[in-house]
Structure 1
Amino acid sequence: MCQLLGMNCNVPTDIVFSFEGFRRRGGETDEHADGWGIAFFEDGGCRVFLDYLPSSISPVADLVKNYPIQSRNVIAHIRKATQGAVSLANTHPFQRELWGRYWLFAHNGNLAERPSLDDGRFTPVGSTDSEHAFCALLNQLSRHFGEPPSLADLHGAVADYAGTLSRSGTFNFLLSDGRALFAHCSTDLFYVVRESPFSTAHLSDADVSIDFARVTTPRDRVAVIATRPLTDNEDWTRMRSGELLCFVDGMPRPSPI
């Protein structure tokens, strides 16, 4: 299956270090070679980079690696195709607009049954179960809420949807509208929170280290979420099956206030 990477911070931060390890899993240190993508929220807008080439050899990934884009919410994905051809249309993360905000979604898993779209305004462009599930979720949210819901209400609605859909397959996903980052674990999802006092981290997929104390301020806080831990010298927390966390300002919240 695919792999996920997310970042949520209390101040705009670049994801260059984590991405350097993550991209190598796209065909170099792992088998996820059927395309990749990454998206950054910036001041109400989004920068989205997609490529159907493996991330380990993609020139677009080289650009992202060398371009320290700063964001408070980032979603990335490397794909091992199970449903749908290898193409840009089937590459995560997927992006849509709802209530005047961009929404991003990436999925790791395989759904045996696709939820009904109920003639809603959101329809897939590609042929993946992932994009179909994303469109179905947005159709449900737009019908259920007449205006943008609070994070607490959104958390409840997404949790109900995830619980229902998980019965038809594996449904690990990352979702964000730029206010927070939602992470749902069906099988495998880990996170680490980096905050003062910062230490040195070493990547699992490359002999690369960084001393965060030298590149951060004492008030910075960063949460990184991944299908598998990206470093081999940090204490990553494994999420429980069925758990949905809302990451706000670099902290995981079981249910936001």
Structure 2
Amino acid sequence: MTTTTTITTIILLLAIGIIAVLAGCPKANAPIESCCCLGFNTSVFNKRKSGVYTMVNFCEVKCYNAEVYCDTINGGGGWLVVQRRQDGSVDFNRNWGEYEDGFGELTGEFWYGLRALHCLTGQGGWEMRMDIKYKDGRSVFLHYEQFKVASAKDKYKLTVGGFQGTTTDPMEYHNGMNFTTKDSDNDQWGRNCAIENWGYSRPGGGWWYKGCEVLMPNHLYSHFVDFLARSYFIEIKIRPLNCNI
């Protein structure tokens, strides 16, 4: 896909599997096999900037290319970014199908898509990182050694664990939850967490809600309650555990 097209195009040829991790990257603007070879800790010869890259054989679909945003700086680099909120320019109050397919622009705010997340992580062996910035100048990160998203049949159930970070673990509360959107209520609350909080309407976005907080990064911008209150930037990214960085 290009940054001027919908992220939905990456879904057309997805197959369950993991990205083959290669040690080296091609030069210049040539396509890459994985964000892993763009790591901050690689040699100067291979080192490249964070940004949009064309990934070949996406999800091991032979000859199928997809555009991805790679973070080459944080946590050693090698990360494939799957979500970003930074200015409220994109509406995250979307339905189930939109959260499956993905939406937004890779250079701005976006959600990469549940189908893609399952395709990439469904076989296990992936880690996840969140980088969060607050309006008061603070920055925190959350790092999980295990991150897996199940299939649509299992409502994209989340498995996450092995926490490290600069704050308490907010994702333990969401571990094992199915994904919920405004038109598909799969949380454990009496009402839909993507629609209501604290007994009144607060249009939000899809997430692995339980009942409902602790972490709501796709919620109405500037209302990432509870854990993300007062934050203005969040980026979620994943990489294989055997990433060569």
Normalised by the length of structure 1, the TM-score is 0.24
Higher helix fraction (1 or 2): 1
Higher strand fraction (1 or 2): 1
